[in-house]
Amino acid sequence: MSTASDLRCLPSADGDLAYRDSGSGDLVVLLHSGFVDHRLWDDHVPVLAERYRVITPDTRGHGFSANATAPFRWADDLAALLRHLDAGPAVLVGLSMGGVIATDTVLEHPGLVRAVVTAGAVTGDFQYTDPWHREVQGTIARALETGDVTAWLDAFLRLVPGPERTADDVDPDVVRRVREMALHTLSKHSPGEKDWLVRVTGSLDRIGEIRVPLLAVNGSLEPADLHTAAERLAAAVPDGRTATIDGTGHYSALERPDAFTRVLLDFLESL
């Protein structure tokens, strides 16, 4: 895995934001899922950096980036980084929370975005409807409020195999990596602290505003409502496409990094 020594920092009015900068060429930004950090993409960066300039930031409050002490929006933080890099419009690739950041950014700062890839995500307005996800999300929220790290971690790691599998069905190294990153991010926060994030609302109703190529990727084991929402997203965009990574759940990029990278490279080469 990459280390803190590999990182650069973008100063902001509310603390430094960390990112890794690799390779050269057209700009590709890889956005991690919630509670983890840029190391989610360690398997992908060396391959992508042979052809592209690859930026892997830590979202505010995650990994090695500063915590928020004032209201902020994910899209605005990312826009500040893209302007700082001054490297032309970027392809944004996001897993889960990172996918929401990608769609937020193309809606709020369209001139900075060349194309979008969402994985296990649609927009910030999407809500799981199945009881399993709702129960897990509720447990995570309650554990964060009370500071019960054990309950939080147990619930959070259930997202790795998803509702149709157990942890025994997933490569233990995947679970280990998610646990390590999640505990690092959690250690930066205190129970019940104020959430300063200002969410972009109404985004699902605005997907028709997206005018750049878009690819919606899902693991085959994601719930049906997410697949349906991804199809709706792709259909609303003039150059919208979908792809499926077989045999994977929410962390398709971690479970099958080679397959995920192939799908991503095919998309990048078509732009």
Alpha-carbon gap, residue 98 to 100, rounded angstroms: 5
**Residue 88: predicted pLDDT:** 83
CB–CB of 249/219 below 8 Å?
A: yes
Q: Which residues contact 153 (CB under 8 A, 6 or more apart)?
A: 179, 182, 183, 186
Q: Which residues contact 248 (CB under 8 A, 6 or more apart)?
A: 219, 220, 221, 255, 256
**Residue 6: predicted pLDDT:** 84
Q: Which residues contact 47 (CB under 8 A, 6 or more apart)?
A: 261, 265
Q: Could you identify the residue written with the tokens 């003039």?
A: 238
Note the maximum CA span of the chain.
48
pLDDT tens string, the chain, 271 residues long: the values are 565 658 999 999 999 999 999 999 999 999 999 999 999 999 999 999 999 999 999 999 999 999 999 999 999 999 999 999 999 899 999 999 999 999 999 999 999 999 999 999 999 999 999 999 999 999 999 999 999 999 999 999 999 999 999 999 999 999 999 999 999 999 999 988 999 999 999 999 999 999 999 999 999 999 999 999 999 999 999 999 999 999 999 999 999 999 999 999 999 999 9
Domains, the chain, with CATH or none: 4-127+197-269 (3.40.50.1820), 131-186 (no CATH)
Residue 190 tokens, joined? 């205190």
Size of the chain in residues: 271
Q: Which of 199, 203, 202 is nearest to 71 (CA)?
A: 199
The C-alpha angle with vertex 96 and arms to 95 and 102, in degrees rounded to 5, equals: 70
